[in-house]
Structure 1
Amino acid sequence: MTARRSPLALHAVAGLLVAGSLLVTFATGVEERPVALAFGVLVAVGELARPPGGPPLREAAPLGAAGSLAYALVGAHAGHPTHHGVAQALLVLTVLCDTVVVAVLARSRTGWPFAPTLRDELRGLPGIGSAVCATGAVMALAVAVVGLWALPVFSVPLLLTQLSLRRHAAVRATYRQTIASLARATEIAGYTPAGHARRVAALSQAVGRDLGLPEPELTVLEYAALMHDIGQLSLVDPVPDGATAGLPAAQQRRIALLGGAVVRQTGADARVAAVVERQADPYPEQPPAARIVRVVNAYEEKARGRGPGGPLAALEELRLGTGREYAPEVVEALAGVLRRTGAQAGVHPPASGPGGASGRVVAGDSWAV
């Protein structure tokens, strides 16, 4: 309930702030309209250049952010003092901040825990955040000296950055679609049930987020989870229902090594292949991503076909196996994710396609199988 009320409260505060700024601006009139219009156009261009399908929480409109910051800081225009008040400057800032707040509040839609999400955002702040602050400050100083002609000059670097982000987002989306298509090969060949890889990838990412994995490691985790069963294509006799969790340890390792070899031949990141290869190793020797894939894959296999009580029974089996086969911290993180989504009780969250704003399979997939 608190998670639902917080977004409403923040939206209410933001709405009141915008409404108050509008009232003051309408009452006093717009000061220095050419300056306000120029900065408004700059912010609008920055928002229009926002990369589609980019990360839902990362600042994806640096030009708009820098323009709004510059307008708030500018104290002179071509040597003449400016007179726009705090309310008028605040109005430009809050229009942009509303989009940022909506993005941050994606937690209320995805169920991502607050602390790991905030930590991931802080990791990305020194890069694009420092560039936005520096460009905004330089813009304000340049406008004070030479006037509005400084805006297009100092906007070019950030605009080119945004265009690069758009191209990167498109390439990343294409690469992910290729990985997802490769992962479906085991389903098409009849080695694994339909949707198994997608469900494991979605749930693995949710568990990884709970454990505080940074964004690059979450991407590696997603790709490895999608292709964790690809080694089964090398088997002459398919494993019944594709369920590898119940196989002898030696056979699990053989399939994992075969899968890693296949992943390396696809040209995927070597870290992805390493996770696939090590998913059957003893858990104290595994990297975090391999521990997560192992636990989530075992949960999905054990819960499959058991009816409403399957998720609880599968989770109990995993808990009994902690200390021998499964990492205890991963099992508890999995339990927390299932508890938040209602999957332990056999409640199916509404299904969605691969996506969310990041183009990634997120919390909309059905995890209670």
Structure 2
Amino acid sequence: PPHAAARLALGVGGAALCCEALCASGVLGRLVGPGALFALCLLAVALLTAGADACLAAVTAVAEAGDGHRPRPRGQLRARPATVPAVAATAVLLALAVGTAGSWALPACCAPLLLTQFVLRRRAPVRATHRRTLASLARAPEVAGCTPCGHARRVADLSRAVGRELGLTGGELTALEYAALTHDIGQLSLTDPVPGGATAALEPGRQRRIALLGGAVVRQTGVRWRVASAVEAQADPYREQCVTARVVRTVNAYDDLTAGSHTAGPSARERALRTLRTATGRDHEPRVVEALSRVVSRAADV
């Protein structure tokens, strides 16, 4: 949106002008000099830039919503943990460029940044289309009676939580969610549905065939190749799987063992986790099982 580009230009440009005064040739630069005080001044500029960007984002969000609900600037800051230091670092570099080449360097350097943001914004509708497509695919096995209702969404939500527990971020979490949503697509190829949708009891050959067919369908959606690879690897030993496939496999088994019940008691949850721990020789990575155990324990305490 135009307001996002305007915020970027205002934030980076304003911080750059502030940092220019801190350069050796600037007014404050001659007073501050290099050292701890100079670093504190840079930090102050970064915080001011973050606060200004958060306030502008809250105002534009209210204008777009039109319902009188004003987002909190603190929440806007939490939503931009990586953007704030990136803007501050870019501003320092721009200030050095302006100090060397003059004020015309500011718009010249901002142009590539705005173009990059424009390209990234154009990708957002594509990602939204992928998400809707995969959500529809995830519902197909449920509508066909191959898997329990809500199974794919439960596995996806819990997989994201386990992925965060393991330190996954950004695109890794998105790929994990997509793989979890579509991990049962291959069951549509079965003539007779598996009771409860639990394919773990099938012979390895049939499990492998279901996984490969599911991966082939996912590849046709145009999502990242690692999503389809994670779906295809569901029947492989965990030592041959990527971390995405390992998480989906373990969380899927947990949901099958607890019958997808969010109200399962502590004994039922512990039995399910104990079953997973006993299968760590081939099927489940101990690190993933323990991460799942921590996530489930915290959810039960809430």
**Conserved? CA contact 2:186–2:212, under 8 Å:** yes
Which runs of structure 2 are paired with 1:78-117 in the superposition (5 Å)? 81=27, 93-98=46-51, 99=54, 102=75, 105=78
Query: Structure 1's 138 and 106: CA in aligned 2 closer, same or farther, altered over 3 A?
Result: closer
Q: How far apart, CA to CA, are the structure 1 residues paired with 2:184 and 2:244?
A: 15
**Conserved? CA contact 1:245–1:301, under 8 Å:** no
Deviations 1:241-288, CA, capped at 9 Å, x for gaps: 212233333332222122122223334333222211111112222222
**Conserved? CA contact 1:50–1:166, under 8 Å:** no
**Conserved? CA contact 1:71–1:140, under 8 Å:** no
TM-score (norm 2): 0.73
Q: How far apart, CA to CA, are the structure 2 residues paired with 1:238 and 1:249?
A: 16
Q: How far apart, CA to CA, are the structure 2 residues paired with 1:139 and 1:89?
A: 12
Correspondence for 1:331: 289
CA-CA distance at 1:154 after TM superposition: 3.3
Correspondence for 2:98: 142
Q: Is the deviation greater in 194-203 or in 293-302?
A: 194-203
Q: How far apart, CA to CA, are the structure 1 residues paired with 2:225 and 2:110?
A: 37
Letter in 2 for 1:70: A
Do structure 1's residue 312 and structure 2's residue 270 form an aligned pair? yes
Letter in 2 for 1:308: A
**Conserved? CA contact 2:179–2:230, under 8 Å:** yes
Correspondence for 1:367: none
Q: How far apart, CA to CA, are the structure 2 residues paired with 1:295 and 1:219?
A: 18
**Which residue, 239, 242, 255 being the options, matches 1:284?**
239
Letter in 2 for 1:71: L
Q: How far apart, CA to CA, are the structure 1 residues paired with 2:97 and 2:149?
A: 59
Letter in 1 for 2:89: C
Query: Structure 1's 298 and 106: CA in aligned 2 closer, same or farther, altered over 3 A?
Result: farther
Correspondence for 1:208: 163
Looking at both structures, which has the greater relative contact order when contacts are Cα pairs under 8 Å and sequence separation is at least 6?
1
User: Higher helix fraction: Structure 1 or Structure 2?
Assistant: 2
Correspondence for 1:133: 89
Q: How far apart, CA to CA, are the structure 1 residues paired with 2:100 and 2:285?
A: 59
**Conserved? CA contact 1:74–1:143, under 8 Å:** yes
Q: Is the deviation greater in 164-173 or in 327-336?
A: 164-173
Deviations 1:65-107, CA, capped at 9 Å, x for gaps: 533431331229xx99589x99999876434334497567469
**Conserved? CA contact 1:67–1:136, under 8 Å:** no
**Conserved? CA contact 2:15–2:49, under 8 Å:** no
CA-CA distance at 1:236 after TM superposition: 0.8
Correspondence for 2:280: 322
Query: Structure 1's 93 and 300: CA in aligned 2 closer, same or farther, altered over 3 A?
Result: same
**Conserved? CA contact 1:74–1:144, under 8 Å:** no
Q: How far apart, CA to CA, are the structure 2 residues paired with 1:238 and 1:220?
A: 27
Q: How far apart, CA to CA, are the structure 1 residues paired with 2:110 and 2:161?
A: 37
Query: Structure 1's 104 and 252: CA in aligned 2 closer, same or farther, altered over 3 A?
Result: farther
Name structure 1 gaps, 5 residues minimum. 1-44, 52-60, 108-117, 348-369
Q: How far apart, CA to CA, are the structure 2 residues paired with 1:90 and 1:261?
A: 50
Q: CA RMSD in A?
A: 3.9
Correspondence for 1:18: none
Query: Structure 1's 89 and 276: CA in aligned 2 closer, same or farther, altered over 3 A?
Result: closer
TM-score (norm 1): 0.61
**Which residue, 160, 180, 191 being the options, matches 1:225?**
180
Correspondence for 2:12: 66
Equivalent position SS for 1:308: coil
Do structure 1's residue 49 and structure 2's residue 4 form an aligned pair? yes
Query: Structure 1's 266 and 175: CA in aligned 2 closer, same or farther, altered over 3 A?
Result: closer
Q: How far apart, CA to CA, are the structure 2 residues paired with 1:256 and 1:217?
A: 20
Correspondence for 1:20: none
Deviations 1:201-249, CA, capped at 9 Å, x for gaps: 1211221222233533333222211110000111111112212233333
Equivalent position SS for 1:184: helix
**Conserved? CA contact 1:72–1:90, under 8 Å:** no
Letter in 2 for 1:331: V
Letter in 2 for 1:182: L
Correspondence for 2:119: 164
